[in-house]
């Protein structure tokens, strides 16, 4: 996942099997801390992001047992173009995977409200993803 860093939030849920959740960005020129608006939204929702630093997605992030989730179809397409080793079935749009109609719009550069809306949408979709993964056991 990228954008508002849903991976750390994802860890708040209990899965029936062990899973490692990593957050990666599509364009990270150097490690940088969390966007202040995203951090404010996370803190207001009880999620501590202290010490978080962004990381660029690399070819090493794609593997047989890896599921890469994007917020938007455009991000998915870009990843598939950038990384030919990525299997299409292992790169999915989060909302499509869980059956939600709308994509999660990247709030980058937007208002605090747009970050809050992004968080709420991601929260809803992550809850559905956890249920889907747990039922698949």
* Residue 38 confidence (pLDDT): 93
* Residue 11 confidence (pLDDT): 54
Residues 6+ apart with CB under 8 A from 118: 3, 4, 41, 71, 104, 105, 106, 107
Give the tens place of pLDDT for each residue, 4-54. 344 445 556 777 777 788 889 998 888 889 899 999 999 999 988 888 898
Query: Quick check: 92 and 67 in contact, CB under 8 A?
Result: yes
What angle in degrees, to the nearest 10, is found between the helix axes of 36-44 and 112-135? 60
């Amino acid at each position: 996942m990228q954008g508002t860093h849903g991976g750390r939030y994802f860890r708040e849920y209990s899965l029936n099997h062990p899973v490692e959740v990593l957050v990666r960005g599509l364009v990270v020129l150097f490690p940088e801390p969390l966007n202040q608006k995203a951090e404010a939204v996370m803190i207001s929702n009880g999620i501590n992001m202290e010490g978080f630093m962004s990381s660029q997605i690399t070819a090493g992030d794609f593997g047989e047992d890896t599921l890469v989730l994007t917020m938007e179809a455009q991000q998915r397409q870009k990843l598939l173009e950038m990384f030919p080793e990525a299997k299409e079935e292992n790169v999915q749009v989060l909302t499509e995977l869980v059956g939600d109609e709308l994509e999660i719009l990247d709030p980058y550069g937007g208002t605090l409200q747009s970050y809050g809306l992004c968080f709420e949408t991601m929260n809803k979709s992550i809850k559905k993803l956890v249920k889907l993964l747990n039922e698949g056991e």
